[in-house]
Amino acid sequence: MSEVYAVRRTRLRECCNAAGSAAALVSRPANVRYLAGAAPEGAVLLLGRTEDLLVCAGPPDDRSPHNRPDEALRLHLVPGIGGDPAVAATGLAVGQGVDSLAVEEHHLTVARHREIRSVAPGLRLTGIAGAVEQLRVVKDEEEISCLRIGAEIADQALGELLESILVGRTERHLALELERRLVDHGADGPAFPTSVATGPNAGRPGHRPTDRRVEEGDFLSVCLGATYRGYRCEIGRTFVIGTAPADWQIELYDLVFSAQRAGRESLVPGTACRDVDRAARQVLDSAGYAEALPVITGHGVGLEIHEDPQLTPAAMGKLDACVPVTVEPGVHLPGRGGVRIDDTLVVRPEADGGPELLTITTKELLAL
Pick the binder of a copy of itself from 11, 68, 107, 169 (CB under 8 A): 107
Which window, 45-53, 59-67, 150-158, 161-169, contacts a copy of itself (CB under 8 A)? 59-67
Interface residue with a copy of itself among 7, 114, 159, 349 (CB under 8 A) is 114
Q: Which of 81, 121, 288, 351 binds a copy of itself (CB under 8 A)?
A: 81
Judged by CB under 8 A, the residue of 314, 350, 351, 353 near a copy of itself is: 314
Nearer to a copy of itself, 207 or 348 (CB): 207
The dihedrals phi and psi of 171, each to the nearest 5 degrees, come to: -55, -40
* Contact call for residue 218 and a copy of itself (CB under 8 A): no
- CA distances (Å), 200 to each of 162, 205, 249, 291, in order? 20, 12, 12, 17
CB neighbourhood size of 334 (10 A): 9
Site for a copy of itself (CB under 8 A): which residue of 7, 97, 180, 244?
180
Choose which of 3, 18, 65, 111 interacts with a copy of itself (CB under 8 A). 111
Report the C-alpha gap between 50 and 116 in whole angstroms: 20
Q: Of the ranges 112-120, 244-252, 300-308, 349-357, which one interacts with a copy of itself (CB under 8 A)?
A: 112-120
Q: Is 351 in the site for a copy of itself (CB under 8 A)?
A: no
Q: Which residue stretch of 140-148, 220-228, 310-318, 345-353 sits at the interface with a copy of itself (rule: CB under 8 A)?
A: 310-318
Tell me the C-alpha to C-alpha distance, in Å, between residue 183 and each of 31, 172, 191, 349, 361.
Answer: 25, 17, 11, 33, 18
In angstroms, how far apart are the furthest CA atoms of the chain?
73
* Residue closest to 272 by CA, chosen among 347, 353, 351, 330: 347
Give me the 289-308 binding string for a copy of itself, x by CB under 8 A, dash otherwise: ------xx------------
Min dist. Cβ of residue 143 to a copy of itself (A):
22
Q: Which stretch binds a copy of itself (CB under 8 A): 99-107, 133-141, 263-271, 279-287?
A: 99-107
Shortest separation between residue 246's beta carbon and a copy of itself, angstroms: 25
Asked if residue 293 lies in contact with residue 359, where contact means CB atoms within 8 angstroms, the answer is no
d(CA 26, CA 46) in angstroms, rounded, equals 6
Rank residues 7 and 295 by Cβ distance to a copy of itself and give the closer one.
295
Q: How far apart are the first and last CA of the chain?
A: 44
Site membership for a copy of itself, residue 334 (CB under 8 A): no
Minimum Å gap between C-beta 112 and a copy of itself is 8
CB of 251 to a copy of itself, least distance (A): 27
Please choose, out of 10-18, 102-110, 154-162, 234-242, the segment that lies near a copy of itself by the rule CB under 8 A: 102-110
Instruction: Please tell me the distance from the alpha carbon of residue 276 to that of residue 296, in angstroms, as a whole number.
Output: 11
Is 333 a binder of a copy of itself (CB under 8 A)?
no
Q: Does 124 bind a copy of itself (CB under 8 A)?
A: no
* Rounded Cα gap, residues 236 and 137, in angstroms: 22
Task: Mark 127-166 with x for binding to a copy of itself (rule: CB under 8 A) and - for no binding.
Answer: x-x-------------------------------------
Query: What letter does residue 318 receive in the DSSP assignment?
Result: B
Query: Of 311, 324, 156, which Cα lies nearest the Cα of 224?
Result: 156
Q: How many CB atoms lie within 10 A of CB 115?
A: 16
**Cα–Cα distance between 282 and 261 in angstroms, integer?**
12
Rounded alpha-carbon distances, angstroms, from residue 253 to 103, 145, 266: 47, 31, 20
Cis peptide leading into residue 309 (ω within 30°):
yes
Return residues touching a copy of itself (CB under 8 A). 61, 63-64, 81-82, 103, 105-114, 127, 129, 172-173, 176, 179-180, 183, 208, 210, 295-296, 310, 312-314
